[in-house]
């Protein structure tokens, strides 16, 4: 069995990307478990002075949750053509731990936006950050859900556009195979 952990890039309770992240469990192939990782909301801003006093409990909780997964799916909006600050902060904290929780882990990115580009611009900067952790990035197919307000029912936490749901199902099946191909983690 493969366990995919989902790291949400948005802190907003009623965000489109959060609804997509929560809907992923209904789209997974048989034999795949999805778990939503702890929110990045409780993490303090990365600061070496804080780290020198000891790893905060919220960081340790996130790292512990990551230790129990085989692959990571990041579902995020795009903020100002780049990575949301809370998501980047989480990666910064995780990059300071020993051992590195994200090293050699398979990762895929889904971006979600009400705009036409679907968060496409965040992929490059997020990939660069993930490469710094030695992660194995599933680059294709890219998932960018543009016009998401017409495809996602935020209140129900479901993908309301069947073509989008089917595309995500196929991506999750491909991601499972990709994750299994990396012997370092799966």
- Give me the pLDDT at residue 184, please: 54
Residues of the chain with pLDDT under 70: 183-186
- For residue 23, being part of any structural domain is answered with yes
The confidence score (pLDDT) of residue 1 equals 82
pLDDT, tens digit, for every residue of 10-21?
999 999 999 999
Residue 185 is assigned to a structural domain of this protein: no
Q: Which domain does 75 fall in, by range?
A: 2-180
For residue 52, the model assigns a pLDDT of 97
pLDDT given at position 183: 52
Q: Which parts of 24-117 fold into alpha helices (H)?
A: 48-52, 57-67, 85-94
CATH number for the domain spanning 57: value is 3.40.50.360
Structure tokens at 141: 């197919």
- Does residue 186 lie within any of the structural domains? no
Q: What is the pLDDT of residue 182?
A: 76
How many beta carbons lie within 10 A of that of residue 7, not counting itself? 25
The pTM assigned to this predicted structure is 0.95
Place of tokens 């299994």: 180
d(CA 81, CA 12): 18
Query: HSE (CB half, 13 Å, CA atoms) of 108?
Result: 25
Q: Are 87 and 40 in contact (CB under 8 A)?
A: yes
């Amino acid at each position: 069995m493969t366990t995919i952990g989902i790291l949400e890039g948005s802190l907003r309770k009623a965000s489109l990307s959060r609804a997509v992240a929560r809907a992923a469990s209904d789209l997974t192939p048989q034999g795949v478990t999805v778990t939503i990782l702890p929110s990045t909301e409780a993490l303090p801003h990365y600061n070496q002075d804080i780290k020198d006093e000891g790893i905060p409990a919220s960081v340790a909780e996130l790292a512990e949750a990551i230790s129990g997964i085989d692959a990571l799916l990041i579902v995020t909006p795009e903020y100002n053509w780049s990575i949301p600050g809370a998501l980047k902060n989480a990666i910064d904290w995780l990059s300071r731990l020993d051992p590195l929780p994200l090293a050699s882990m398979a990762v895929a990115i889904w971006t979600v936006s009400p705009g036409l580009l679907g968060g496409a611009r965040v992929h490059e900067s997020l990939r660069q950050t993930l490469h710094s952790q030695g992660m194995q990035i599933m680059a294709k197919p890219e998932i960018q859900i543009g016009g998401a307000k017409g495809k996602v029912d935020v209140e129900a936490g479901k993908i309301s556009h069947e073509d989008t749901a089917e595309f995500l199902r196929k991506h999750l099946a491909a991601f499972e195979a990709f994750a299994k191909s990396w012997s370092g983690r799966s």
